[in-house]
Amino acid sequence: MTAYTSLPVVPSTAMTDLHVMARDTADETFDPAELISGAGALPEAPMAMPAQKIEQPQGRMRRMFSTLILQPARAPGRG
Amino acid sequence: MTNDRARLWALRGSAVALSLLAGFGAFILFLQFGDQNGLDVYDITRAVLILISTLWLAWGAVQALIGLSTRATPPVYDPDAPITSRTVVLMPVYNEDPLYTFSRLAAMDASVTAAAQASNTEVNVHFAILSDTRNDLTARREEQLFADLVKERKGLGRFFYRRRENNIGKKAGNIEDFITRSGAAYDFALILDADSLMEGETILQMARRMEAEPRLGLLQTLPKVVRARSHFGRAMQFSAAFFSPVFARGLAMMQGRTGPFWGHNAMVRTRAFAESCGLPALRGKPPFGGHVMSHDYVEAALLARAGWIVRLDDDLQGSFEEGPENIVDHAKRDRRWCQGNLQHTRIIGAPGLRLWSRFVFAQGIMAYIAPLFWLGFILCSIAASTFTAPPNYFPEPNWPFPYFPPSEASKAIGLAIGIFGLLLVPKLLIAGRAAKDGTADDFGGPARAFWSTLGELLLSSLNAPVLLMFATRSVIQVLLGADGGWPTNNRGDGRLTLGDGLRASWWITLIGIVGLWATWVFAPGLFLWLLPVGLPMILAPVLISLTSRGAGGRLFGVPSEYSPAPILRLHDQVLADWSARLDARAEEKHSA
């Protein structure tokens, strides 16, 4: 048996029982479109996520190098 | 520097030093071997290629050795503490069948509820499905099944669904969209993949660990691959269950505060994630520019840069994922990862990153370019045999007896044994320890685990040349500027016919035939050495097809097969219920 050493043991039947009980007592039906635009829509609780600096600014040498290396061929323009 | 930091850097330094020692040992041995007829440019080139390749292999072996030296232990915290935080489980989906993905959420919700009841804890765990699905038919099915999910789990106010109009930034953009819209409602977000499954107890323990360490920005679990059915999939599943925990242990020992993020089955502190992980598009066009593809490594590095702890808790069980079932799907996934990792060449120099984060980027890049060094070595060896003059057995014009240069073949053989040793020994040591400490019992007993180890070594050796060719093609495509896009993962049974195999790998077969023919004609002395590489290449379509077939039996048996975790059994049941209900609904519609 795999030992779930750091986790207190939850009897697996408890989960199954809960699933069966929930399945058998579910009576409310929802219209999918209404649900998704109403109670099932994500909560409005904005949080700022500022863009981080993840590249070195392009130096002169790098700019020169990037103009020298091969660029992928472009598709011919129309007209 | 504190004692802990000094110890950490000593361990990291020793690991790098050992790898360098192995690399330079191979380098010197090869130079001695090449020197028997005098060194030429081919010898020096090959020696450098051997140095880099051996260094890379040795790094993996050293990680395993470090992993074998300790056991995973939980951090100091109270596993029964009440949970006051709010957690949201995020499941980004992208064209996957919602029957499989949403039923996982139903199982996880039941599991969380059971775990909370067992520990008498009130918990606040919500679930959000973040759809980037482009297929309208799949999207409609998602909406219907979401309504079913909410109904069955009585989940009004706990389950949420959102579909983006455009999938800017792919998975990273999908998560970012959630954080910017709803992030303030939650303390922690558990990020999943569409094929992830986690025990409720594991989720609660992760929340407790996040609460216990306020500087912890991200907590990564070690997901086990489950439900593989093919020979290829089950071999990978065995490898992930039997070998990976030891390699992960080695990694965890060296992580310090800059652990890994593998993109899923990990919990983030929303505030830390929001303030540190906003990813701008990189300058230029894909494959090197544009949106960051392998965003997880970058997010881990950015969290560490901002002073947050990123930690892999490899003691946590109950974390699962599924893997590719055949070589072609594996190669497709690798193509995406290859592009993502090579894109990190643009980020490795980002200002303020921790040294270890830069080292992790370098490792990721190396993982994808390493096959090129082996290929270069093989090609260089053929060229050396073709263009180098044969030994002069009569160097003295007037001397009637031949002169035989000293043979250094023993050094070449020793070198080959050493390199294979770096690949084989860690796995054999892991099998040995598993037999000794009883871990092998979970894999069907020591004998079966040993045979599975040998089987995995054999299969991975056969597949290696084929995967090497796919990896080489990926790197070349990326370097030539081809963007691999973002294909949907195949999550079916993955069985491929011989025709499928041929369509995917005819070019490998062709290269194998031409390569072996050229070796036979121009460098016959190398023919036998290159046969183990060339033959699997020629047989690539057969290998691809055969290894994709369903595999039962006890070889490659893993704990999740011998004794499935509760969440796996529960998900099977939910899936069966849902499938039956959908079938009944379809029948009703049909008869109406």
Positive or negative, the Cα torsion across B126, B131, B137, B140? positive
Rounded Cα gap, residues B187 and B211, in angstroms:
9
Element containing residue B384 per DSSP (H, E): helix B355-387
**Closest among B318, B232, B240, B221 to B558, alpha carbons compared:** B240
Rounded Cα gap, residues B311 and B323, in angstroms:
23
Beta bridge partners of B190: B89, B267
Phi, psi angle pair for A44, to nearest 5°: -90, 100
Q: Measured in whole angstroms, how far is the alpha carbon of residue B112 from the centre of its chain?
A: 27
Q: What DSSP letter does each residue of B524-543 carry, written as one string?
A: GGGHHHHHHHHHHHHTHHHH
Q: Searching chain B, which residue's CA lies closest to the CA of residue A19?
A: B110
B533, B378 in Cβ contact below 8 A?
yes
Side chain identity at residue B245, one-letter code: P
Positive or negative, the Cα torsion across B452, B456, B457, B461? positive
- Residue whose entry in the numeric block shows the structure tokens 């500087």: B215
Tens place of pLDDT per residue across chain B (592 aa): 578 889 999 999 999 999 999 999 999 998 988 887 778 888 899 999 999 999 999 999 999 999 999 888 899 999 999 999 999 999 999 999 999 999 999 999 999 999 999 988 889 999 999 999 999 999 999 999 999 999 999 999 999 999 999 989 999 999 999 999 999 999 999 999 999 999 999 999 999 999 999 999 999 999 999 999 999 999 999 999 999 999 999 998 998 899 999 999 999 999 999 999 999 999 998 899 999 999 999 999 999 999 999 999 999 999 999 999 999 999 999 999 999 999 999 999 999 999 999 999 999 999 999 989 989 998 898 888 887 766 666 667 777 666 666 666 677 777 888 888 998 999 999 999 999 999 999 999 999 999 999 999 999 999 999 999 999 999 999 999 887 665 555 556 788 999 999 999 999 999 999 999 999 998 888 888 889 999 999 999 999 999 999 887 789 999 999 999 999 999 999 999 999 998 998 888 888 7
The answer as to whether B163 is a domain residue is yes
The answer as to whether B313 is a domain residue is yes
For residue B240, what are the domain limits?
86-325
Rounded Cα gap, residues A34 and B130, in angstroms:
17
> Chain B 232-271, CB below 8 Å of chain A: which residues?
270-271
**Closest among B145, B37, B11 to B385, alpha carbons compared:** B37
What are the tokens at B361? Answer: 């980027």
The answer as to whether B522 is a domain residue is no
B226, B237 in Cβ contact below 8 A?
yes
Rounded Cα gap, residues B105 and B159, in angstroms:
9
Task: Give the count of domains, chain B.
Answer: 1
B33–chain A nearest CA distance, Å: 38
What are the tokens at B294? Answer: 């392998």
Q: Pick A47's closest partner by Cβ from B119, B270, B282.
A: B270
Q: Pick A19's closest partner by Cβ from B480, B559, B573.
A: B573
Interchain contact, B279 vs A46, CB within 8 Å: no
Rounded Cα gap, residues B315 and B332, in angstroms:
31
Phi, psi angle pair for A7, to nearest 5°: -115, 130
Rounded Cα gap, residues B260 and B251, in angstroms:
9
Q: What is the ipTM of this complex?
A: 0.82
Side chain identity at residue B532, one-letter code: P
Q: Pick A19's closest partner by Cβ from B278, B302, B570.
A: B570
Chosen from B146, B150, B226, B567 to mutate, greatest number of chain A CBs within 10 A:
B150
The answer as to whether B42 is a domain residue is no
* A8 contacts in chain B (CB < 8 Å): 79-80, 118-119, 201
Q: Exposed, middle or buried, B25 (CB in 10 Å: 0-12/13-18/19+)?
A: middle
pLDDT band with cut points at 50, 70 and 90 for residue A77: very low
The answer as to whether B105 is a domain residue is yes
Rounded Cα gap, residues B311 and B306, in angstroms:
14
**Closest among B185, B195, B176, B188 to B91, alpha carbons compared:** B195
Interchain contact, B481 vs A72, CB within 8 Å: yes
The answer as to whether B461 is a domain residue is no
Q: Searching chain B, which residue's CA lies closest to the CA of residue A1?
A: B442
- CB-based burial, B372-391: b 16+ in 10 Å, e otherwise: bbbbbbbebbbbbbeebeee
**Closest among B146, B167, B63 to B429, alpha carbons compared:** B63
Q: Searching chain B, which residue's CA lies closest to the CA of residue A35?
A: B147
CATH number at residue B291: 3.90.550.10
What was the pLDDT predicted at A2? 37
Going from the C-alpha of B229 to that of each of B226, B321, B584, the distances in angstroms are 9, 14, 28
Interchain contact, A32 vs B563, CB within 8 Å: no
Coil, strand or helix at B219: strand
Q: Pick B154's closest partner by Cβ from A26, A29, A42.
A: A26
pLDDT band with cut points at 50, 70 and 90 for residue A78: very low
What was the pLDDT predicted at B512? 96
Rounded Cα gap, residues B311 and B314, in angstroms:
9
Q: Searching chain A, which residue's CA lies closest to the CA of residue B292?
A: A54
The answer as to whether B282 is a domain residue is yes
Chosen from B161, B221, B439 to mutate, greatest number of chain A CBs within 10 A:
B161
* B574 contacts in chain A (CB < 8 Å): 19
B38, B6 in Cβ contact below 8 A?
no
The answer as to whether B310 is a domain residue is yes
